[in-house]
Every structure is written in C-alpha cells, then in structure tokens.
Copies of this chain bind each other. A is one copy, B any other.
C-alpha cells in the first residue's frame, strides 16, 4: 500500500524558499506569479494492507518525524 504525505509550512510562517522561487520566476520572465509556497512530499511504500490503520500509522510518523508540527502542517493520503 502506498501513502503520500504533503508537508507544508503553516500559513502564517514565512517561506524564504518559496519567495526565492517567486523572484527567480519573475527574473525568468514569468509574470503573473503572485505567490509561491514550497513544501515536501514523501511517498511511503507500506507493508500494511488495511487503509485505515495505515493512515493512522502514517499520521504517527508525521507527528514523530516527518513534520515539525510547530511550524508545519501535513496531509496524509492513501493511494
């Protein structure tokens, strides 16, 4: 079973990486880019076969390791 986790900075948190991308796109001539936020995507191959328990397990992984929940939010998707 595959799970996909998105980890993004929370909305109020400054995202210098995203800002750098926005500036770079502007310099390359891409106008009309009003904002950029950059985050991580983590794809996990799991041995689990039950979607609900796999999702709960991945949420624990996020809380313990994959996301810094002080400044980051995450979403878990079983695919």
Name which residue of chain B comes closest to A32, CB basis: B47
A52 at the interface (CB under 8 A from B): no
B contact residues around A6 at 8 Å (CB) = 41
**Which residue in B36, B40, B65, B66 is a CB contact (below 8 Å) of A44?**
B36
A38 and B33 contact, CB distance less than 8 A: no
Q: Kindly state the separation between the CA atoms of A38 and B61 in the bound complex, as whole angstroms.
A: 14
Name which residue of chain B comes closest to A30, CB basis: B61
- Asked if A45 meets B41 with Cβ closer than 8 Å, knowing A21-B66, A25-B65, the reply is no
Q: Which residues of A contact B (CB under 8 A)?
A: 6, 8, 18, 21, 24-25, 28, 30-48, 57, 60-61, 64-66
